[in-house]
Amino acid sequence: ETPAGFVFSVKAPRFITHIKRLREIHKPLANFFASGVLELKEKLGPILWQFPPSFKFDPELFEHFLEQLPHDTEQAAALARQHEPR
């Protein structure tokens, strides 16, 4: 139980930001959204994408990354259905 209006902030997997460094991330994104994060439903708040200090800003890479992110829970659920089997 959480108070009314409470939302959880979720930290995205470092595999996407630190290991893959935003490259070839379709399946890792699908796996993240299939991991149970969507079960928070209306309690899901912001998702934190933390990058390593050594990560250099690349406008094209970030644009591509942002284009791959779902814009609503329906898109996130569709992406989650593409996850890798365990």
- Percent of the chain past pLDDT 70, that is, above it, reads 100
* pLDDT-derived band at 86, boundaries 50, 70, 90: confident
**Residue 85: predicted pLDDT:** 87
Give the helix/strand (H/E) hosting 26: helix 26-34
**Residue 59: predicted pLDDT:** 98
Give the Å distances, CA to CA, from 31 to 22, 44, 55, 79, 84.
14, 17, 23, 9, 6
- The token pair at 67 is 């284009």
